[in-house]
Structure 1
Amino acid sequence: MIARVTRNEFSKGFFDASRPAIVADALGDWRIAERWTPAYLAAVAQSRAVVSSRANDGQYRFEPSHDGARSHAFDNSETAFGEVARRLADPDAGDPVYVMQQSIPDKLPELLGNLVVPHWIEAERPAINLWFGRRTTTQLHFDYSNNFFAQLHGSKAFTLFDPRDSDCLYPYPHETATAHLSHVDVDRPDLERYPDFARASPMRFTMEAGELLFLPAFWWHHVSAPGVAVSVNFWWQPGLRQILDARNSTRALPSLYAIDRLRSFKQSFLEPAQLDFVTAAERFLDHGRTWAAGILALAAFDEWGSGGPWPGAARRPAGCRLSGLADDLRELGAIALARDGAPTAQRHAIEDAASLAGAVAQRHDDALIERERVAALLHAVTVLGAAPGTASA
């Protein structure tokens, strides 16, 4: 069972430890009985354009497309907020509709004065979103951000799983934008196809109006609402310790590599901790996270290649899918070995980089990646001068 605690109790043991909990007395300043009912919402921000979603069966699911991107199994349309809010406020209306993950500051600023950012994250500048729907179910997934989830009207049923259960939850392939989603239908699990799901340990509970859920990053969750429900959530970035500890935390790296070879990941998560690709890879190695250390070591070698004056450097695309990284780095390895003064002691590690890239692309699995291979490549990259001069934290 999830702990239901007071604000004082939550502050003393749950927030810093990244343990899920429901804070029962956190929303007293919100005046939710006046300011967050469907009828109230139908009367404010009427002309604001929002995206409303419709799934005939109430199941809001995502699937990977043929190119690894994310596609959804429901219809979206831009709608005036007042129109969809009136439909949801009508007790006789039965159509499924969901206004989900709509930014309150950007789309519905009229609601900002009705909420209070939880004081634990006042300095984090969190993303704030509205969730407003009828009979909705979202598939089992995890988020890459920490979450405070305020239940304001109606109820929602949650099923949580610890990140340590990730291998039992059958995630989508790691080189897709849906790598944070599970194949398993929590309400009707097919144990013939997904037998290891029986070994996972679910935490099931129902959130009622007036309760605030702390959902740490990387915790798997399945959410459903039996009727009309209004919720607001706050997302903010996890700390480096959370990323190091959660075995599913790096499943987004292949998608980020395909966008910009992890440059944005480095800027957002590593540099604030005074880390570069090499020093971050060393941190992951220390935690036994060899797959993540491997991709970061490859990113360090790749970064060295992108900064060189040699032929072909300017033609390198901004991003690269892991399935094509081996070929990309094979050419880069030849350049490194052909340079005057190429480090003879590191030749094997440089020659092995393409093979290591192939192993990383194969599967998100620490058992596939040998620590010695990663350490050797990190040493070779350091000798090549690839590591920026930030200090290890």
Structure 2
Amino acid sequence: MAGDYTMYSSEKLPLQVERAHKPSFEEFNKLYAEPGKPVLITGVVSQWKACSLWNPQYFNSLAGERVVPVKRMRNGAYLEARSESMKLADYLDIVNKEPVGNERVYLSEQSFESTLPEVVGDFTIPAYIDSKEIDIVSYIGSSVHSQIHFHPFGKALLCQVTGRKRVKLFAPDQTPLLYQKLNFSKIEGEPVDLEKYPLYEKAEYYECEVNAGEMLFFPIYWWHGVETPEFSTAVVFFWDDPRKLRWFPPAGIPWFYVPVFEIRSWFFKGNRILKRILKSIRG
């Protein structure tokens, strides 16, 4: 939950995420994408129009009466989240108030084209993405955190438009300490119950704050938990890695999960194809 983001006693932690100012495509691939290394990139998102436009008033003026899908969850427990719909204006009113209790609503993982097509022109696809198959989704909300998880299909770029996010990252070799359940950790939030999850205390982690105008690169199979302590808007780009990288995961990721992830990737890909077909029929 929002608040103090320290919980480890080791003097060696946290490890620091490397920072790079507007690296070239070649530098990004050589130094970060190919070796599978996270990096915080500046000088790209800060050039977007969205950085000066995106706030509750702007969204309300464009689509306040539109009904949008949101997730209702206890703290950051994504695995137990319930889906519901509400007017965008009502949602923005909720997330701009001080939260009460531990229940949250979150407009997350939604396609901009389906929920807020008016703002697609406010940002551009980063040059670091070497695929035509890209999922571009929104994260708009406050006072939420995500359960620790990793992306089993490929890479991701978290592009922070307004507000900030605090992120903890764990390399794949830390998996035995994170109480894995598919691509999620069973651990839901902080402070962590070390009596219930004692191995977690031994985990090494990286930490960074992603501020407005910055982007964070997540390699495939890197664990991460994300906290959003204040009203925040972000665009996240997901794109798949080649099957060779997915089928031969780094040390720490159990091999028997890989077929499960691959089957899920077929399901998600089929869903995307079906949506395109339906859109072409309607349009």
Q: What is the TM-score when the length of structure 1 is the normalising length?
A: 0.56
- Runs of 5+ unmatched residues, structure 2: 1-15, 271-283
Cα pair 1:154 1:209 within 8 Å, conserved: yes
Partner of residue 29 from structure 1, selected from 25, 29, 47: 47
What does residue 254 of structure 1 align with? 260
Separation of aligned partners in 2, 1:40 and 1:253: 44
Asked if the contact 2:76/2:188 (under 8 Å) is kept, the reply is no
2:62 to 30, 35, 44: 44
- Of 226, 229, 250, the residue aligned with 1:226 is 229
In structure 1, the residue matched to 2:129 is: 121
Give the whole-Å Cα distance in 2 for the aligned partners of 1:236 and 1:255. Answer: 15
- Out of 18, 21, 28, the position equivalent to 1:6 is 21
Aligned residues: CA RMSD = 2.7
Give 1:191 deviation, angstroms: 3.0
The CA distance in 2 between the partners of 1:93 and 1:199, in whole Å, is 34
Richer in strand (by share): 2
Letter in 1 for 2:34: D
| Highest RCO, 1 vs 2 (Cα 8 Å, sep ≥ 6) | 2
Q: Which residue of 2 aligns with 1:333?
A: none
Instruction: Show structure 1 runs of 5+ residues with no match.
Output: 64-71, 173-178, 269-393
Q: Cα distance, 1:93 vs. partner?
A: 5.5
Change (3 A) 1:126 1:255: closer
The residue that corresponds to 1:76 in the other structure is 83
More helix by share: 1
Question: CA 1:140–1:123 in structure 2 vs 1: closer, same or farther (change >3 Å)?
Answer: closer
Partner secondary structure for residue 124 of structure 1: coil
- Helix, strand or coil at the partner of 1:97: strand
Per the alignment, residue 195 of structure 1 pairs with 198
Partner secondary structure for residue 89 of structure 2: helix
TM-score, normalised relative to structure 2: 0.76
Give the deviation of 1:111 after TM superposition: 1.6
Asked if 1:160 is matched to 2:175, the reply is no
Q: Does 1:149 align with 2:162?
A: no
Q: Distance in 2 between matches of 1:159 and 1:255?
A: 23
Conservation of the 8 A alpha-carbon contact between 2:160 and 2:234? yes
Instruction: Report how many aligned residue pairs link the two structures.
Output: 244
SS of residue matched to 1:42: helix
Offset at 1:232? Answer: 0.9
Q: Give the deviation of 1:83 after TM superposition.
A: 3.1
CA contact (8 A) 2:51 2:212 kept: no
Taking the aligned partners of 2:199 and 2:76, their CA distance within structure 1 comes to 24
Counterpart amino acid of 2:120? Answer: L
8 A contact 2:163–2:231 mirrored in 1: yes
**TM-fit CA distance, 1:161:** 0.4
1:132 equivalent in structure 2: 140
% same residue:
23
1:103-133 per-residue CA deviation (whole Å, 9 max, x = no partner) reads 1122221121111101121643310001111
1:166-315 equivalences under 5 Å are: 166-172=175-181, 179-185=182-188, 187-243=190-246, 244-247=248-251, 248=253, 251=257, 253-254=259-260, 264=266
SS at match of 2:58: helix
Q: In structure 2, what is the equivalent of residue 375 of structure 1?
A: none
SS of 2:185's equivalent in the other structure is: coil
Q: Partner of 2:48: helix, strand, or coil?
A: coil
Distance 1:186 1:86, change over 3 A: closer
In structure 2, the CA distance between the partners of 1:21 and 1:256, relative to structure 1 (3 Å rule), is closer
8 Å contact kept, 2:149–2:225? yes
**Max radius of gyration: which structure?**
1
Partner residue, 2:120: 112
**Deviation (angstroms), 1:249:** 7.4
Partners of 2:233 and 2:50 lie apart in 1 by: 10
Q: CA deviation at 1:60?
A: 2.4
Pair 1:103-2:106 in alignment: no
